[in-house]
Amino acid sequence: MSRYISIKTDLPQNYQQLQRALGRVGYFRRGTLLKRFMPCGKPGCACQASPPRLHGPYYQWTRKVEGKTVTVRLTREQADLLAVWIDAGREMDRIIAQMEQMSLRATDRLLKRLPSPTRKTPTTRTRGKRASPG
């Protein structure tokens, strides 16, 4: 591999910008923040009236854990904080998606500077005549 090290793999400016942007991403969380209004089910409660006056808002953070949806109840203050972390997670995803696209193009160009594998498939004439190990 070391003979290929002379290939220039300097990162372009815009890629470095993405790297820096990624470095600025702080704590993050995945999942969805929900703000819900719900009935309580108590007879005669305003939430049972027509039109109903539902209870809430209730804040919930839901996410998938090993294929199952997990819900955590939050206060308004907690939800505000979580919204920031969820935004950070999305920002990170956007940056990484751009980096991946640029990386794919750039590494493709680098690979094409090297000789391609020959089209001829190697013959299997070593059958029954294997080189002895060691």
127: exposed, middle or buried (C-beta count within 10 Å: 0-12, 13-18, 19+)?
exposed
Q: Which is nearer to Zn ion, 22 or 45 (by Cβ)?
A: 45
Q: Does 49 bind Zn ion (CB under 5 A)?
A: no
Q: Which is nearer to Zn ion, 7 or 40 (by Cβ)?
A: 40
Which residue in the set 47, 99, 102, 106 belongs to the binding site for Zn ion (CB under 5 A)?
47
CB 52 within 8 A of CB 80: no
Q: Does 45 bind Zn ion (CB under 5 A)?
A: yes
CB 58 within 8 A of CB 73: yes
Position of tokens 């080189």?
A: 131
Q: Does 34 bind Zn ion (CB under 5 A)?
A: no
Q: Shortest gap between Cβ of 58 and Zn ion (angstroms)?
A: 12
Q: Which is nearer to Zn ion, 55 or 63 (by Cβ)?
A: 55
Please report, as a single letter, which amino acid is at residue 11.
Answer: L
